[in-house]
């Protein structure tokens, strides 16, 4: 009796958990593998204002990291990165270094840095949605705001 109850609870949890998203190829493996997403530019004239590509290229050279994603919007730029496993002990230092580098290079921009897998995953998801043109630019901006919110959550 108890066994069935437990099994029921677990399966229903799993079904409820698994059925809510249909993910693209990249976001399915974003937690595990290098996905190397191209930067997202949510600015009005990507040709002139964009520096997402430059940042990504520069940061990808850092040998502690193995994956970088950038979302650039008008107000702030989100830089998400994955740190190599054994370098994770030095996470604080890596973040400080990057902050210093970015502030030095683009003193007028606001940067939000994160090494969180969840933020990375959401970035990839957003990128996929934009690529498939399934959301409008306005909606994309809102989702970007949500990601920033999520990043600030502590508990």
CA 79 to chain centre: 7
Smallest separation (angstroms) from other proteins to the CB of 120: 10
CB nearer other proteins, residue 121 or residue 140: 121
CA 14 to chain centre: 25
Q: Residue 15, Cα to own-chain centre: how many angstroms?
A: 26
In the complex, minimum distance from the CB of residue 105 to other proteins, in angstroms, rounded to a whole number: 27
Q: Find the binding residues for other proteins in span 53-112 (CB under 8 A).
A: none
Stretch touching other proteins by CB under 8 A, among 34-42, 48-56, 101-109, 116-124: 116-124
Radius of gyration in angstroms for the set of CA atoms belonging to the chain, rounded to a whole number = 18
> What is the smallest separation between the CB atom of 50 and other proteins, expressed in angstroms?
27
Give least dist CB 16 to other proteins, A.
9
Interface with other proteins (CB under 8 A), residue total 18
- Binder among 1, 4, 20, 104 for other proteins (CB under 8 A): 20
Helix spans in the chain (H): 2-18, 25-29, 46-49, 52-60, 91-105, 117-131, 137-152
- 57 beta partners: none
If you search the block for the tokens 């949510």, which residue do you land on?
A: 42
Site of tokens 């059925």: 19
Cβ-based nearer residue to other proteins, 37 or 51: 37
Whole-number Å distance between alpha carbons of 92 and 50: 28
Nearer to other proteins (CB atom), residue 61 or residue 92? 92
Q: How far apart are CA 143 and CA 18, in angstroms?
A: 21
Q: Which is nearer to other proteins, 31 or 54 (CB)?
A: 31
The correct pick among 1, 2, 25, 86 for binding other proteins (CB under 8 A) is 2
Contact footprint for other proteins (CB under 8 A): 2-3, 6, 17-18, 20-21, 31, 116-119, 121, 150-151, 153-155
């Amino acid at each position: 009796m108890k066994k069935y109850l437990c099994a029921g609870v677990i399966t229903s949890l799993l079904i409820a958990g698994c059925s809510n998203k249909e993910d693209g190829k990249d976001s399915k493996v974003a937690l595990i593998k290098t996905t190397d997403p191209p930067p997202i530019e949510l600015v009005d004239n990507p040709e002139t204002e964009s520096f997402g590509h430059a940042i990504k290229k520069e940061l990808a050279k850092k040998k502690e990291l193995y994956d970088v994603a950038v979302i650039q919007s008008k107000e702030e730029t989100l830089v998400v990165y994955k740190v190599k496993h054994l370098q994770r002990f030095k996470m604080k230092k890596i973040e400080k270094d990057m902050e210093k580098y970015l502030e030095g290079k683009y003193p007028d921009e606001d940067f939000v840095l994160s090494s969180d897998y969840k933020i990375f995953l959401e970035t990839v998801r957003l990128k996929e949605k934009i690529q498939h043109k399934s959301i409008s630019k306005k909606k994309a901006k809102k989702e970007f705001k949500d990601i920033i919110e999520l990043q600030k959550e502590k508990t």
